[in-house]
Amino acid sequence: MSGVPIKSAREVALMRQACQVAAETLLGVGEMLRPGVTTAQIDRFVREDTARRGARPAQLNYHGFPRSVCTSVNEVVCHGIPGPRVLDRGDIINVDITSVVQGYHGDTSATFYIGEPGPDAKHVTEVARQCLEVGIRQVREGIRIGDIGAAIQRFAESQGCSVVKAFVGHGVGRAFHEAPQVPHYGRPGTLSRLRAGMCITIEPMINLGNYDVEILEDRWTAVTKDRTLSAQFEHTVVVTKNGCEVLTRRSRPLANSEIFPRVFN
């Protein structure tokens, strides 16, 4: 027994609902972003929009996390706490939303551009976006979890970026974080096999410099040790026999992130 929950069709339907709430709220965040907006305003929007949709933000009070969303700017890798910080032209920001519907969690994030990105910001963000796609493309029943990380690491490093090792993707369902862990680095053919009905996140954190991270004094904010830029995208997927369904798939392109309109969101 692997200890990884297999969702029934009924449970996958509830996961789809939770994931679609998170996806729609993330679309709304994209539309409110511009220079001058504070990360506290993003938190307020996420809290209110999540409630309007009849859901609950999983982050609020999760292991003591004090806000409803993680907002991670520039060299912040993840778990940035919303506050008075004002977004400036040229910043990049990852907004990570987890919505709970009838006890099931939907987890998704994206990195957004504030104004026109510089070349480094654009590079790390577009590599991170492609890393998530590369990871999702591996997923089907029978593959090993190491195959996902290996493909992501190979692509990221081919683009001159590094993959954060300190934080991983995860099983998701009745718990925010459940088995299995899903590293975004590793070797093909290693770790356990995926089975149809498993729900996992893939959420590569990609750095322009070294992969090492450091936690700030607030005990949450993770930054790159070398203070280079970091970007991240996250989807929740359910494994199927021949691939996966992206449960947090968006109904339209993200504002302030997708420079070139895409076929698949």
Q: Which stretch binds ligand MF3 (CB under 6 A): 28-36, 60-68, 145-153, 239-247?
A: 60-68
Does residue 220 sit in helix, strand or coil?
A: coil
Q: Report DSSP letters for 146-157, one per residue.
A: HHHHHHHHHHHH
| Interface with ligand MF3, residue 199, by CB under 6 A | no
- Closer Cβ to Co ion, 20 or 201, answer by number: 201
| Interface with ligand MF3, residue 203, by CB under 6 A | yes
Binding residue for ligand MF3, selected from 63, 84, 242, 264, defined by CB under 6 A: 63
**Helix ranges restricted to H, 159-197:** none
Window 73-102: contact mask with ligand MF3 (x via CB under 6 A): ------x----------------x-x----
Instruction: Restricting to residues 20-59, name those near ligand MF3 by CB under 6 A.
Output: 59
User: 206, exposed or middle or buried, with CB in 10 Å at 0-12, 13-18, 19+?
Assistant: buried
Least gap, CB of 98 to Co ion (angstroms): 5
62 binds, among ligand MF3, Co ion, none (CB under 5 to 8 A by kind): ligand MF3
Short-list 102, 103, 85, CA closest to 93? 85
Q: What letter would DSSP give residue 81?
A: P
Short-list 11, 4, 62, CA closest to 200? 4
Instruction: Restricting to residues 222-261, name those near ligand MF3 by CB under 6 A.
Output: 234
* Cα gap 142→140, rounded to integer Å: 6
- Binding site residues, ligand MF3, CB under 6 A: 59, 62-63, 65, 70, 79, 96, 98, 107, 201, 203, 234
